Amino acid sequence: MSSRTDRSVSGKLLVVATPIGNLGDFSPRGREALETCDGIVCEDTRRTGRLLEQLGLPKKPLFSYFAPKEKQQVGPIVKRLLEGRTFALVTDGGTPGVSDPGAVLVAAAHRAGIRVEPIAGPSALVAALSVSSLAGQSFVFEGFLPAKAGARRKRLEELAAETRTIVFYESPHRIGSMLADAADVLGAGRPATIVREATKLHEEVTEGTLEELAERFGEEARGEFVLVVAGGSAEPTDEVALPIDRLLALLQRAGVSADSAARLLAEETGLPRSRLVRRARAAAD
């Protein structure tokens, strides 16, 4: 175990949160860190170079550090830190290590006995929660769901019973399909908030059900997205499950298809549609 008081090396890793969009969000401590450090570890050297220029800060040695090659890039950086240098770790925007590169380097720095210091600031996760009606409750951060539809739906199935608020990140070219899957698996009527392009010129905060948000952002969605979704109710007990099964059976005896019966009950109860579909089909067999 180590602490800040027993460091035997003079090097230091500053984990610096940088603006998501609005440069005015950058803290004085963040500016000082980038101005006085010996070098900057960053995702995109061109983007970080532009940030320094926009902020009127001096040029610095920039060390490329991006997700696919994090492990290969750690060694040379840690070596320089052990030589006594102070590096700032940044991402393309927001806080390093939160669905962005950084965690591997931070862990390696700790193992090497290097001081790791947070320079707090912008975070898309916290920004989205703060403007959501679901703020103030316990939450879990899921980050980006798998890109492939099958894996994405499987992960949503695993999250269906989660009772805490769930926060996701999503890219513009997948937000439509992701919302459609979330509405289908978690329940069309589940309350949610979307924050698009947080702190940027075209910032947008939209609340509604997952079904409504899927319709709103289903086509030609642009920007970076944070999705905040209400947690589900606790898993039904046998006493609750029995009436649901009876309702499914009654609807089907009335001529409603299994899928339609499941959709209707999902809208009324908030239960995941996919789970109700399986139960309805099983009852029909």
Any alpha helices (H) in 39-148, and if so which ranges?
45-54, 70-82, 103-111, 124-130
Residue pLDDT, tens place only, 183-237: 999 999 999 999 999 999 999 999 999 999 999 998 768 899 999 999 987 655 4
Q: What is the pLDDT of residue 240?
A: 41
Confidence label for 6 from pLDDT (cuts 50, 70 and 90)? very low
Report the CATH fold assignment for 125-229. Answer: 3.30.950
Give the phi and the psi of residue 154 in degrees, each rounded to 5.
-65, -45
Q: What is the pLDDT of residue 253?
A: 84
Q: Class assignment of domain 8-122? A: alpha beta
The domain locations on the chain are 8-122, 125-229, 245-284
**What is the enclosing helix (H) or strand (E) of 282?**
helix 273-284
CB atoms within 10 A of CB 28: 7
Instruction: Give the count of alpha carbons within 13 A of 170, CB side only.
Output: 32
Residue pLDDT, tens place only, 56-78: 999 999 999 988 888 889 999 99
Q: What is the pLDDT of residue 9?
A: 54
pTM score of the predicted model:
0.78
Q: What is the pLDDT of residue 266?
A: 79
Comparing CA positions, the residue from 256, 279, 260 lying closest to residue 268 is 260
β-strand 139-144 against 165-170: which pairing, if any? Answer: parallel
Cα(179)–Cα(163) distance, integer angstroms: 19
